[in-house]
Amino acid sequence: MSDPHTADLFAPPAGEPQVLAPGAVLLPGAALDDAPALLAAIRDILARAPLRQMVTRGGFKMSVAMSNCGALGWISDRRGYRYAPLDPERDAPWPAMPPVLQALATTSATRAGFAGFVPDACLINRYAPGARMALHQDRDEADFDQPIVSLSLGLPAVFLFGGFERGDRPTRIPLGHGDVLVWGGPARLRFHGVLPVKDGTHPATGACRLNLTFRKAG
């Protein structure tokens, strides 16, 4: 059940899938009904594997705070980007991926045309107001035949959906609470990023946007 205040006042109703480009499908509001359960599961993960701002190979601290669940977690440090089975902060495995998260990823991928998607990695991104993500490709995964499933919760953001060259002008896709975006197949290696999140508070998350990206990394 969705919180009636959240559903009626702040979020559009769940809508029809929108094909943004071949292989890229927006599922508006696909996670609205499950949002309270998803957020409870996320809070439990973050209590065990706290959010942290990682540094890039170049030594810059990322504005987005991150954690992971699943068999593999995405990390960045002075050695570069990679997937790792252990959380380097705790020298312990990442928390397991809760069934409610895995089910959302698999169902969303199927709705977008990618049946049989079973993620082994879920990166949790927390954007405080002002946090952003520069244009990049997701290419640290073993198999580019597997899609990316991206869940947005809390404050809205503008997703930049680019082309296959860094310089290609991106399309601006507004993403709000409960939206799920899937890109795979011919869209798998498109550049993408997120504009700085605007100040605000959301009834479900407070003053932040949460983004979860599900991947088959290994």
User: Considering only residues 83, 114, 117, 159, which one is a binding residue for ligand SIN as defined by CB under 6 A?
Assistant: 159
Beta bridge partners of 125: 66, 211
Range 177-216, binding ligand SIN (CB under 6 A)? 192, 194, 211, 213
Separation of alpha carbons 198 and 209, rounded Å: 10
Q: Which does 106 bind (CB under 5 to 8 A by kind): ligand SIN, Fe ion, none?
A: none
Please give the order of strands across the beta sheet that includes 209-215.
Answer: 18-21, 24-27, 180-183, 148-154, 209-215, 121-127, 65-69
Q: Which does 211 bind (CB under 5 to 8 A by kind): ligand SIN, Fe ion, none?
A: ligand SIN
Separation of alpha carbons 160 and 196, rounded Å: 11
Q: How many CA atoms lie within 13 A of 1 on its CB side?
A: 3
Site residues for Fe ion per CB under 5 A: 138
Query: In the complex with ligand SIN, which residue's Cβ is closer, 49 or 131?
Result: 131
Cβ(179)–Cβ(29) under 8 Å? yes
Residue number of the CB closest to Fe ion reads: 138
Query: In the complex with Fe ion, which residue's Cβ is closer, 138 or 141?
Result: 138
Cβ(121)–Cβ(59) under 8 Å? no
State the nearest-atom distance from the C-beta of 133 to Fe ion, in Å: 7
- Measured at the alpha carbon of residue 194, what is the angle toward residues 188 and 199, in degrees to the nearest 5? 155
State the nearest-atom distance from the C-beta of 8 to Fe ion, in Å: 32
State the nearest-atom distance from the C-beta of 210 to ligand SIN, in Å: 9
State the nearest-atom distance from the C-beta of 179 to Fe ion, in Å: 16
Q: Which does 87 bind (CB under 5 to 8 A by kind): Fe ion, ligand SIN, none?
A: none
Query: In the complex with Fe ion, which residue's Cβ is closer, 48 or 52?
Result: 52
DSSP-derived secondary structure for 127-161: E-TT--EEEE----SS-TTS-EEEEEEES-EEEEE
State yes or no: residue 146 binds ligand SIN (CB under 6 A): no
Residue number of the CB closest to ligand SIN reads: 211
Query: In the complex with Fe ion, which residue's Cβ is closer, 87 or 138?
Result: 138
Separation of alpha carbons 48 and 64, rounded Å: 19
Beta bridge partners of 188: none
Binding site residues, ligand SIN, CB under 6 A: 125, 133, 150, 159, 192, 194, 211, 213
